[in-house]
Amino acid sequence: MTLLEGESISRSPFMGIQIGKIARVNYDVGKSGVPSESFRELDKLLAYADIEWRDGQIRPNVRLSFPAYSNGTTPERPNVEETSAVTGKAYGDLSLPSVGDLAVLGFFDPTDAVVLGYLPSNYYQQTLSTSKGEFGTFRRIIPGEMLRQSKQQAEFFMDKAGAVHITVKDQSTDADGAVGGATTTKASAIDPAFVPTTEIAKVTIGETYTDDTLASRDVTAEGEKVVLRVKMASGTSLKIDSAGNVELSAAGKVKVTGSEVNLNSGEKGVAREDDEVKSVSADDRLFWLFLTSIVTSYNSHTHPGQGIPTPLLGIAPSSLTGKITEASDSVKAGD
């Protein structure tokens, strides 16, 4: 890096901005070795990279940091201006450059730089529509909308209607028969060159439409507009509308477990097949009055001249016990 005449590193608080290509990058705590996932546990996101300049020279082992703020404290007085130094834990919008990417670096030391932005290595191939490689497509957006899309095609999109859309993609594994899939369940085994195309789920929070052009508003069976929707690739969906109505449609089984499952603020238990049922006089007064009358009439009946007393039936029963023998095949209930 070139310094102004008479200027030294110790006298220059900001060394300047340069553009270079990432020749090697290691998102780990050390300056060398095989990259691992240990960097995910760091308090600060750092990387070590070799930077190649346009003339072919390489500056090795440049420590890269990213514009995210951390280790702040909350102001004790309300009149203290809130800056990045006092707003609390780490925050920011981050993405990390790969080998071959063109990075804009802010140097404040010959071996210390902040990544201010970068262009993917195949950016110009995409914009020039060359035949080298195949590139994914971005959702078309208009001014005011925002889109964030990962290399694996997971998407965070805020549309012109004020809704937020989250799209989740599947990273297939070799066990699924996918070429370039992960060999294990560990994230470190995922082949970053393999971009999946299978959509697992899409979540929309806000006013929801049935298509990407926002031409047809989605509504529930009650005719109210949907304000939260979860759509799974399996066909399962959940909708909540502006009036608080909930629609759940499951392609598979629906299971709810808990020490107590309460529906509609109820206090009475749910009857199931083979549960015992009992009827008493308070449940069906006319039936039990009829039965009692039959017993009473039989016990008081006589046949003159036969000399044989009519056997008594005893008292009338006071209840009838049975069980539920038929129930739904699609709705099941446990204890």
Structure tokens at 87: 């707003």
Task: State pLDDT tens for residues 171-220.
Answer: 665 555 555 555 555 555 566 566 556 788 999 999 888 877 778 889 99
* C-alpha to C-alpha distance for 151 and 267, rounded to whole angstroms: 51
DSSP state of 189: G
Q: How many residues does the chain have?
A: 335
162 has which bridge partners?
none
**Within 13 Å and on the Cβ side, how many CA atoms surround 200?**
11
- 333 or 20, which is more confident: 20
Is the pLDDT at 136 greater than 60? The verdict is: no
- Name the pLDDT band for 61 (thresholds 50, 70, 90): confident
Amino acid 242: pLDDT: 93
Q: What is the mean pLDDT of residues 54-78?
A: 72
Q: What is the mean pLDDT of residues 68-81?
A: 55
Contacts of 26 by beta carbon, 8 Å cutoff, 6+ apart: 32, 33, 35, 47, 48, 49
Question: In this predicted structure, which of 11-25, 29-43, 188-202, 262-276 has the lowest mean pLDDT?
Answer: 29-43
Element containing residue 109 per DSSP (H, E): strand 102-109
Amino acid 91: pLDDT: 62
Q: What is the mean pLDDT of residues 152-157?
A: 85
Amino acid 229: pLDDT: 94
Share of the chain above pLDDT 90, in %: 17
Q: What is the mean pLDDT of residues 137-163?
A: 83
pTM (two decimals): 0.63
- Name the pLDDT band for 245 (thresholds 50, 70, 90): very high
Amino acid 79: pLDDT: 57
Q: What is the mean pLDDT of the chain?
A: 75
**Within 13 Å and on the Cβ side, how many CA atoms surround 204?**
25
Task: State pLDDT tens for residues 268-285.
Answer: 888 888 888 888 888 888
Amino acid 324: pLDDT: 84
